[in-house]
Amino acid sequence: MTYCIGIRLNAGLVFLSDSRTNAGIDSISTFRKMIVYEKPGDRFMCLLSAGNLSISQSVREILQVEKIPGPEGEDPITLWNAKSMFDVARVLGAAVRRVYAQDGPALKQNGIDFIASFILGGQIGGEGMRMFLVYSAGNFIEATRETCFFQVGESKYGKPILDRMLTPTTPLDVAAKAALVSMDSTLKSNLSVGLPLDLLVYRAGELAADQVVCIDEQNPYFQMIHSTWGQRLREVFDGIDDPRWDGGDATHPLISRSERYEPMKKIASPGDRVI
C-alpha cells in the first residue's frame, strides 16, 4: 500500500510519503512516491502518488510531456508554462486520462481496477500556494482553509492526529512533526506502509523547496518521535481516571447498572431468569 500526506498552511506546504509498495503481502518493494518539479524562482511543484504502481509511474512519465489546449492563439499548457496550479492540476488530470485510455481496457479485462490518486501542491510565480487531490478519473478537488490537508493510501490510522493538530495557522515545523507522528502510527498498524520516508517542506513564496529529507531507520528525529510518542501516550492514558461503576464519590462515574442501568435486550432460554 502507501501513505502520503500533503498539508497546505499559511506558512507553506508540507509533503510526506512512505516508500513501500506491495503486490500481495509476499511481494514487497521500495519505490519513492514523491517527485519534485522545480524551476527555482519561477515555480515549485510536488507530486505524491498512491494506487497501482504501473499507473502512477506511467502518469509521472507522461506528465512531463502532457499538454492541454491553451487559450485561443496561445501555446498548449504544460507543467512548465502553466500560469496557475489549477492548470497544472488539469494537465495532471489529462495525463491520468491518457494512461486510462492506454491501459484501462486491458486492466479491466484482467479484473484489475484502475486505481490511482495524487496529491499535487505547489506555487507558480505570484499566485498563492495551492494543493489538489487528483482522482483516478482525472477530476480533482482543492484544499481550503477548512480542510487544509489531504491523504492518499492508508489514511485512516493516521487521520485522528492530523484532525486534532492541523489548522492553516500551524507553523511548518509543527505540521512536519504532526505528519511524522501520523506516519509513525500508520507504520505501526499497516505492514504495507514502510520506511524510508520522503519529507519536503516548502516556505510560502520561495519558489524552491526549503527542506528535503529522506528519513530511514537511523534518523535520530524520527527515532525520537517513534519512542517518545508511544511512551507519552501511555503516560497520558495512565493519567486518565479508570471508570468508576458507582455513582458514589467518583468525579466521573459511569452510569452504574444498579442505579441507572438502561437494560439491553437479554435473551434466555424459557424458564431461565432474565436479569
Question: Minimum distance from CB of 35 to its own copies (Å)?
Answer: 6
How far is the C-alpha of 233 from the C-alpha of 94, rounded, in Å? Answer: 45
* Interatomic CA distance for residues 46 and 174, integer angstroms: 20
Q: Give the shortest CB-231-to-its own copies separation in angstroms.
A: 9
Dihedral sign, Cα of residue 177, residue 164, residue 227, residue 236: positive
**Contacts (CB under 8 A) with its own copies, residues 133-162:** 156-157, 159-161
25 binds its own copies (CB under 8 A): no
| Residue 210 φ then ψ, to 5° | -90, -55
Q: Is 228 in the site for its own copies (CB under 8 A)?
A: yes
CA distance 129 to 204: 7
Q: How many CB atoms lie within 10 A of CB 45?
A: 23
Does 74 engage in binding with its own copies (CB under 8 A)? no
Q: Among 36, 27, 31, 28, which Cα is nearest to 18's?
A: 31
Which one, 106 or 220, has the nearer CB to its own copies? 220
Grid coordinates belonging to 270: 424459557
Indicate whether 40 belongs to the interface with its own copies (CB under 8 A): yes
Q: Which of residues 168-207 bind its own copies (CB under 8 A)?
A: 171, 173-174, 176-178, 180-181, 185, 188-189, 198-199
19 binds its own copies (CB under 8 A): no
- Minimum CB separation of residue 161 from its own copies in Å reads 8
Q: Which of 28, 141, 191, 233 binds its own copies (CB under 8 A)?
A: 233
Among 28, 30, 31, 39, indicate the residue that binds its own copies (CB under 8 A): 39
Classify the C-alpha dihedral 112-114-119-123 as positive or negative.
positive
- Count residues binding its own copies (CB under 8 A): 81
The interface with its own copies within residues 237-256 (CB under 8 A) comprises: 237, 239-245, 251-256
| Residue of 97, 111, 115, 110 whose CA lies nearest to 49 | 115
